[in-house]
């Protein structure tokens, strides 16, 4: 399961006792993606980071179980197979588009992420539309399923800003 939002990263780190929650900005500004290996009940067993460059080979960067212990052999093999067989199949053109959007959003949001206790100013309608489109490009299946633009218009700026941090990582 890909960890795509700050809340998921925080919960994963809390459940497994490691620092994955601190990787939000890295996910936005680099080629890193974070995944959770879970059991049939959805309980996290281990977390791995993969680098998926737009050119070159995807690779497993790190993989940790609870309290930063090494994952068991089956989990390690699963992570290696996932990187080799699934992540390498993503089209380079799509990866370049996603990276461009993530970096652009990440650079604009870095000041918000560095000050979590402050309330950011409201988003303009144009920025709201731009960000909704960017999220739609990165996660098109989610947008089709949830009708993201209508949802964002209904829920307002605070939710959109929370979703930006959540959905783009």
**3-class secondary-structure state, position 37:** strand
Look at the pTM and tell me if it is higher than 0.85. Answer: no
**Helix or strand or coil: residue 48?**
strand
- The pLDDT, as a whole number, for residue 74 is 96
Can you tell me the distance from the alpha carbon of 22 to that of 44, in angstroms, rounded to the nearest whole number?
17
Angle (CA) 78 80 86, round 5°: 85
Contact yes or no for 79/71 (Cβ under 8 A): yes
Please state, in angstroms and rounded to a whole number, the distance separating the CA atoms of residues 161 and 166: 9
Tens place of pLDDT for every residue, the chain, 169 residues?
888 777 788 889 999 999 888 887 777 766 678 999 999 888 999 999 999 887 778 999 999 999 999 999 999 999 999 999 998 888 888 888 887 877 777 676 666 554 444 555 666 777 767 666 666 555 555 555 555 555 555 555 555 555 555 544 4
3-state secondary structure of 45: strand
Helices (H), 56-139: 73-85, 92-114, 125-138
């Amino acid at each position: 399961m890909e960890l795509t939002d700050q809340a998921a990263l925080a919960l994963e780190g809390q459940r497994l006792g490691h620092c994955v929650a601190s990787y939000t900005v890295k996910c936005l500004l680099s080629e890193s993606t974070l995944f959770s290996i879970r059991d049939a009940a959805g309980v996290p067993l281990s977390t791995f980071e993969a680098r998926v460059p737009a050119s070159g080979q995807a690779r497993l960067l790190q993989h940790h179980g609870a309290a930063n212990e090494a994952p068991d052999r089956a989990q390690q093999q699963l992570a290696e197979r996932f990187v080799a067989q699934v992540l390498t199949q993503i089209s380079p053109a799509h990866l370049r588009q996603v990276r461009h959007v993530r970096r652009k959003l990440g650079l604009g949001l870095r000041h918000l992420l560095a000050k979590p206790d402050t309330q950011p100013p409201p988003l303009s309608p144009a920025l709201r539309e731009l960000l909704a489109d960017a999220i739609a490009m990165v996660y098109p299946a989610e947008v089709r399923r949830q009708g993201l633009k209508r949802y964002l218009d209904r829920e307002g700026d605070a939710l959109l800003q929370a979703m930006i941090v959540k959905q783009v990582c």
